[in-house]
Amino acid sequence: MELNPMEKPDFSGYLKKKGGNIKTYKRRWFELRGKLLFYFKKQGDKKPTGFINISGAKVEVDETKPISFKLRGKNLARVYEISAENEFDFNSWLKELNKAINYNPTQDKEGLEEVKDEIRNAKSQEQVTVSGKASSGKKVTLSDFELLTVVGRGSFGKVMKVREKGTSKVLAMKVLRKDMIVKENMVSHTLAEKKILQSIDHPFIVALHYAFQTEEKLYLVLDYLPGGELFFHLREETKFDVERAKFYAAQIVLAIEHLHKNDIIYRDLKPENVVLDADGYAVLTDFGLAKTSIGNNTPTYTFCGTPEYLAPEILKGQGHGKAVDWWSLGILLYEMIVGLPPFYSENINEMYELILKAPLKFPGTVDAQAQSLLKGLLERDEHKRLGGGRKMELKFETIHSSRTLIGISSITNKSRLLSNHN
């Protein structure tokens, strides 16, 4: 898999890693991207040979070996033993790894002041457009928002929690640097994401309220989702009970169905991109890999996505369509119930082989009904896959259960959506 060019490494360099099976140290090129540590055979390789999820991990200095450290944590399948090539690299990696592990965006005062300076110094605050959902024609600028805190950072900018002064509504403001977008040839992707969000109005898809720009930045003002990423909740609890997993899956199903009816494929379903709102409902976010104008018989060929969730047809490179989203849902649902994706391996190439060929196995805790649903979603033939060639309304009774949907409609105003899916 080639990494998303939108994501540049936070830190990189050569280290030596002890193998999991063959206990020898091999020199590898490492790239730290958020809380994921990717490693490659050599610098310049586009496809990593593996990655380590350092979220919640601990970095321990190895007292028995010079300039060496260990990574251990409950999310890691084993203890990783790594050594640096010199003292300077050793200290630099310790600093960067600990910074990534302990990063708390709510304490990012520097980022908050940076955006406040932009408000004071912006030469232009010309509005580009407002979303279909906020279609009053109202023009907005940075000065229309009170900046509260930084809630996240990325390669192209940051995400702020803001309050709209005129309404006191709390929203999220995604700030993107134009120079980085142009430099990385991501203009079309960024505009496509904005276009998709402008065209979609759905309770389980993040809403775009405003889009505007200054000379240096693009600003997308979105729903603020305080419940946190599904990834965070899975990390804390390891897995969910079946009813809770079905509850989230029901909302994701409705969101994906809505996208597909509008000929949009999502292509990046994973726990990091499902965020809970204030009422605890699952909302799809981040449409950077989404593709528009995809009919039922219109394939696309871009190799993209996150390794664990890639559908077999993407790996084969023979063209893929809407069915890839149902495969990814199957992987996510399995992970929510079991605690790990079904074909997971630290070695990415090995994981691809498992996705293509390995039998789907279930622990004894997964009941027959859930197994049947997962087998339907994780059918390797996209034409036979549940949601791909098989009619959703006939086969999704396990998720579209009356109890699940009544549970949604009885708690929030999202019930207006359900009348369209009965």
Q: What is the predicted pLDDT for the residue at 117?
A: 61
Which pLDDT does position 396 carry in this prediction? 44
pLDDT of residue 275: 94
d(CA 368, CA 317) in angstroms, rounded, equals: 33
DSSP state of 277: -
Three-state SS at 127:
strand
Task: Annotate 169-209 with DSSP letters as a single string.
Answer: -EEEEEEEEHHHHHHTT-HHHHHHHHHHHHH---TTBPPEE
> Which residues, at least 6 apart from 307, have a Cβ–Cβ distance to it below 8 Å?
1, 51, 348, 351, 352
Q: Which of 268, 279, 286, 381 is catalytic?
A: 268
Which residue do the tokens 């991501």 mark?
A: 186
Residue 241 has pLDDT above 50, yes or no: yes
What is the model's pLDDT at position 112? 58
d(CA 374, CA 365): 14
Helix 323-338 / helix 242-261 crossing angle, nearest 10 deg? 170
- Which range of 13-27, 246-260, 375-389 scores highest in mean pLDDT? It is 246-260
With the C-alpha atoms ordered 324, 404, 422, 393, is the resulting torsion angle positive or negative? Answer: positive
Answer yes or no: is pLDDT of 358 > 80. yes
Average pLDDT over residues 349-366: 94
Chain centroid to CA 44: how far? 25
Answer yes or no: are the C-beta atoms of 295 and 263 closer than 8 Å. yes
Q: Give the pLDDT band (50/70/90) at residue 120.
A: low
Q: State yes or no: pLDDT of 363 exceeds 90.
A: yes
Statement: residue 279 has pLDDT above 70: yes
Residue 297 vs residue 291, higher pLDDT: 291
Question: Within 10 A of 195 (CB to CB), how many other CB atoms are there?
Answer: 16
Name the token pair of 205: 């898809």
For 328, the 3-state DSSP assignment is: helix
Written as one letter, the residue type at 22 is: I
Contacts of 163 (CB under 8 A, 6+ apart): 145, 146, 148, 169, 170, 171
CB 163 within 8 A of CB 169: yes
pLDDT digits (tens, 9 = 90+) for 7-53: 578 899 999 999 877 778 999 999 998 888 989 999 988 888 888 88
What is the structure's pLDDT at 359? 97
Helix axes 242-261, 402-409, angle to 10 degrees: 80
Mean pLDDT of 308-334: 94
Residue 109 has what pLDDT? Answer: 57
Q: Are 318 and 298 in contact (CB under 8 A)?
A: no
| Active site annotation includes 108 | no
Q: What is the largest CA-CA distance in the chain?
A: 66
101 burial type by CB count under 10 A (0-12 exposed, 13-18 middle, 19+ buried): middle
Residue pair 29/51 in contact by the 8 Å Cβ criterion: no
**pLDDT value at residue 343:** 96
Return the pLDDT at 168.
Answer: 94
Give pLDDT, residue 209. 93
Is a pLDDT exceeding 70 seen at residue 125? no
- Confidence band (pLDDT; 50, 70, 90) for 105? low
* Alpha carbons 142 and 61: distance in angstroms, whole number: 45
Cα 251 to Cα 156, 212, 283, 356, 385: the distances in Å are 29, 30, 8, 28, 19
Burial tier of 131 (Cβ tally within 10 Å: 0-12, 13-18, 19+): buried
Which residue, chain included where needed, has tokens 């990783």?
A: 80
Q: What is the amino acid identity at position 377?
A: L
Which domains does the chain possess? 11-103 (2.30.29.30), 106-223 (3.30.200.20), 228-418 (1.10.510.10)
pLDDT in tens, 133-184: 444 466 888 889 998 888 877 667 788 899 999 999 999 999 988 888 887 7
Please state, for a pLDDT cut of 90, what percent of the chain lies above it.
Answer: 48
| 183 in a labelled binding site | yes
The conformation of residue 273, written as its DSSP 8-state character, comes to G
Contact 213, 122 (CB under 8 A): no
